[in-house]
Structure 1
Amino acid sequence: MRRYAVCGVSKRAIGMFIEPMIQTFSNQCELVGMLDIDSKRFSVCKEQIPETSNVPEFDSNNFDRMVKETNPDVVIVASRDDTHVDYILKSLQHHLDVISEKPMATTAEDCQRIMDAERESKGQVTVTFNYRYNPYHMKIKEMIQDDKLGRITSIDLNWYIDTYHGSTYFQRWNRYRELSGGLSIHKSSHHFDLVNWWLDQKPEEVFAFGQLNYYGKDSVHNPEEEEGRRCSTCGVQLDCPYYAHWNTRSNNATVQDDHIDSDMRRREGYTNYHTDRCVFDSDIHIEDTYVASIRYEQGTLLSYSVNFSLPYEGYRLAINGTKGRIETMEYHAPSRVPFPTPEQTIDYFPLFGAKETIHVVEREGGHGGGDPVIQEDIFLGENPRRPYKILSGSKDGSYAVTTGEAVWKSVKEGKPQTIDDLLLEKTVK
């Protein structure tokens, strides 16, 4: 029985970690403490999961006291992105294992601090990159490992975020680079880690372009220039396509999203936390569109793009190798797609041979069925029968974050960025 403390009682923490510990892995796990800056989050958690009613609560400034009083074996970090590094470093100082939500940190410099601290600690860091656990992504890993493609020469990955999901990032704290690292880190680190894992290669150099096209004060969709509006009280909400498209005139959201409760947009939720801030505010400076070229240590080239305001959500992927090519396309959140969506398959094209279409066995659960499987690896230990390593460590987390930082720095500076230079920046200084 391992003892767990949770830092950041977010929606993600409750659904991804706390509920499974209580309901599925209770023979292996004991939740001994919860820490957060807002006491309302404890109330929400205990309302949703009554079994947590007697779990001790701690303010965000009382990490050391929580460790002393609850004696955890593992600290789960699911707080706001910019706070991850502090909780991870404090946990390692106490020689505790850490499970961190992605991104592990928001800067390459903080990633280097974490890896340095881990080397001096008895604790180990795990980063929950659940995209790896999607059954389609695991099948692609198996095909690459089985040498179906030969040496990988290039990858095309285009990621699409729809107008509902995409706008939520600009309504919350994610809109500030100092809190999220920008979307090339907060969101794209997921994608970069996936490619890094498929290839089992280190990214070396990045060149990127990016822009703020849809959100911010200069958006063509801004119905009126005014600062500090909130969707729930805005006088021009029906003139805003991001609001009007997804809501009725009676102020009810018509859809659900994995990342945020839609009714949170309509009411006062947690203390000083608003999920319906105006996407056209002038303090929005992060990019909502990226195109990047990334070179890997063994010569593989990645062509990557992401767009945070599109009519549907999903991705297109092609992987080319010396023995063949695979293609697949996923439509995420089909309930929000305004047309029929085909079943996802993987098409395999041998370099000299006939096309094969692979139908992957799907699973229930969040993130394409990935969440339940990563939870088993987290709480029961990695499956020993799996022919490849899948659970991520601090090095994986660092390369994902640093690639994202290289993307936005390349955009700002107009020149290529070298991954090792960014990770060693702290040492050079």
Structure 2
Amino acid sequence: MNRIVVCGLSNRAMQMFIKPILTKYSQENEIVGLLDLDEKRVELLYEMFPELASVPSYRPEQFPEMIAQTEATTVIVTSRDDTHVDYILQGLKFDLDIICEKPMVITSHDARRVMEAEKTSQGKVTVAFNYRYNPFHRKIKELILEGKIGKVTSIDLNWYIDTYHGASYFKRWNRMRKHSGGLSVHKSTHHFDLVNWWIDQKPVEVFAYGDLHYYGKNGEENPSQIDNRYCGTCKEKLICNYYNRWNNRTNSVKVKDNHIKAGVEEKYTNYRPDACIFDHEIEIEDTYVATVKYDQGALLSYSINFSLPYEGYRLAVNGTKGRIETQEFHELSRIPFPVPEQTIDYFPLFGSKESIHVVQNEGGHGGGDPLIQEDLFLGIDPHRSYEILAGSEAGAYSIAVGEGVWKSSKQNQPIRIDQLLENYIYE
């Protein structure tokens, strides 16, 4: 029996990990301890999952005590991003296996600390990159492995986040780089990990530009320079174009948040998910363009924007024998116009185009969540012919690229990945 403790009782913890463990994987896994800074989150968890009422809860400083009392074998880390490193390092010190929500940590320095600690521990770090498990993303990996496009030479990846989703990062703790590493780390690690995994090459250098355009005090849609506003109590919300994009004058529903279940935030302590997206304290960027060079010659052209009219991405992977293209329109309920069905188009260098209609499955992140949960809680699928579950090295490289994007945009110079990871060589 796998004895699990959960550090950080976030909505992600409850929906992605705790609920499926209790409903699908309870024969092989048991939750034996809960840890969070906020007692109200613990109370909420007991309310949502009464079957856990007898499971003891702990505060962050009680981690060693929790491990000793529960005899845990696995730690799930779903706390705020900047606290991940603390729980990972403590867990490895006790020779425990770690399952960590992305990003693994928020700095390259801490990523190296994790990899060094893992080398001397009997525990293993797994990073829950669920986007790898999306059926389209798995199919792209398979096409590349089959040699359909030959040697990968370049990748174009443009990611679009609409203001419904994008604003949620600026209404909460994510807006502070010290908590999230900025969005090139918190969000883009998903995307950098996908590319690293698809092409099976290591990033070596990044050059990027980034800026804050839509959000923050200088945003064009900012009704005024008043600071410390909250959507729920703001006197200017009826003249705020952002607020009125998702609400009307008679709408009694609070401003939407893409990450928190409605009403749950009221049960947290000192937590407001509706801080004004035009506050002066916002210090992270909302727009990036970047170029990444890889150790086997591939080049990535990447962009992301967090204030667009619709959500999705466009991808092209080029090789010596052909090209793969796909385009996703995400959250169709928020797109006010018709969009095409997602397919994968394969263009051989010589021959006819093929359009691939991918077999899909239900679940979050395009059907990726249920599949990664199976690998995490039942063991890796023995019938899969390629590696998909990510470890600490994958987590580290995705973070290093994200940190390099931010630092390059600030320093106006290329950033070497090995220098961020202090010339780390994974053995």
TM-score, with length taken from structure 2: 0.97
1:341-360 matches, cutoff 5 A: 341-360=339-358
User: Secondary structure of the residue that 1:341 maps to in structure 2?
Assistant: coil
- Give the aligned residue type for 2:120: E
- Give the aligned residue type for 1:59: R
Q: CA deviation at 1:254?
A: 8.8
User: Secondary structure of the residue that 2:313 maps to in structure 1?
Assistant: strand
Q: What is the CA–CA distance in structure 1 between the aligned matches of 2:54 and 2:248, rounded to whole Å? A: 40
1:255 and 1:336 in contact (8 A); partners too: no
What 5-or-longer segments of structure 2 have no aligned partner?
none
Q: What is the CA–CA distance in structure 1 between the aligned matches of 2:221 and 2:355, rounded to whole Å? A: 41
Q: CA deviation at 1:39?
A: 1.1
1:190-209 matches, cutoff 5 A: 190-209=190-209
1:168 and 1:275 in contact (8 A); partners too: yes
249 and 288 in structure 1: CA distance in 2 versus 1, 3 angstrom threshold: same
1:247 aligns to 2:233 (yes or no)? no
Q: What is the CA–CA distance in structure 2 between the aligned matches of 1:254 and 1:136, rounded to whole Å? A: 34
Alignment match, 1:6: 6
252 and 203 in structure 1: CA distance in 2 versus 1, 3 angstrom threshold: farther
User: Secondary structure of the residue that 2:99 maps to in structure 1?
Assistant: strand
Which of 259, 271, 288 is the matching residue for 2:269? 271
Deviations 1:216-275 (A, max 9, x none): 1111110011110010000001211221111232344499765222445xx634111110
2:185 and 2:403 in contact (8 A); partners too: yes
Q: What is the CA–CA distance in structure 2 between the aligned matches of 1:426 and 1:157, rounded to whole Å? A: 27
Which of 396, 400, 403 is the matching residue for 1:402? 400
1:92 and 1:117 in contact (8 A); partners too: yes
2:161 and 2:311 in contact (8 A); partners too: yes
Q: What is the CA–CA distance in structure 1 between the aligned matches of 2:138 and 2:253, rounded to whole Å? A: 34
Deviations 1:19-69 (A, max 9, x none): 111110010000000000001111222222221121111112211111111
Alignment match, 1:309: 307
1:420 aligns to 2:418 (yes or no)? yes
Alignment match, 1:90: 90
User: Secondary structure of the residue that 1:209 maps to in structure 2?
Assistant: strand
2:326 and 2:342 in contact (8 A); partners too: yes
1:359-398 matches, cutoff 5 A: 359-398=357-396
Q: What is the CA–CA distance in structure 2 between the aligned matches of 1:361 and 1:255, rounded to whole Å? A: 35
1:51-90 matches, cutoff 5 A: 51-90=51-90
User: Secondary structure of the residue that 1:171 maps to in structure 2?
Assistant: coil
User: Secondary structure of the residue that 1:79 maps to in structure 2?
Assistant: coil
Q: What is the CA–CA distance in structure 2 between the aligned matches of 1:419 and 1:143, rounded to whole Å? A: 28
What 5-or-longer segments of structure 1 have no aligned partner?
none
76 and 113 in structure 1: CA distance in 2 versus 1, 3 angstrom threshold: same
1:246 and 1:253 in contact (8 A); partners too: no
62 and 251 in structure 1: CA distance in 2 versus 1, 3 angstrom threshold: farther
243 and 29 in structure 1: CA distance in 2 versus 1, 3 angstrom threshold: same
- Give the aligned residue type for 2:374: E
- Give the aligned residue type for 1:316: R
1:99 and 1:127 in contact (8 A); partners too: yes
224 and 262 in structure 1: CA distance in 2 versus 1, 3 angstrom threshold: farther
User: Secondary structure of the residue that 2:302 maps to in structure 1?
Assistant: strand
Alignment match, 1:221: 221
Q: What is the CA–CA distance in structure 1 between the aligned matches of 2:314 and 2:56, rounded to whole Å? A: 45
Q: CA RMSD in A?
A: 1.5
1:109 and 1:425 in contact (8 A); partners too: no
2:231 and 2:255 in contact (8 A); partners too: no
Q: What is the CA–CA distance in structure 2 between the aligned matches of 1:143 and 1:378, rounded to whole Å? A: 25
User: Secondary structure of the residue that 1:386 maps to in structure 2?
Assistant: coil
User: Secondary structure of the residue that 1:227 maps to in structure 2?
Assistant: coil
Q: CA deviation at 1:426?
A: 9.8
TM-score, with length taken from structure 1: 0.97
- Give the aligned residue type for 2:21: M
Q: CA deviation at 1:356?
A: 0.6
Q: What is the CA–CA distance in structure 2 between the aligned matches of 1:199 and 1:257, rounded to whole Å? A: 34
1:253 and 1:262 in contact (8 A); partners too: no
Percentage of pairs with the same residue: 60
Q: What is the CA–CA distance in structure 2 between the aligned matches of 1:369 and 1:303, rounded to whole Å? A: 26
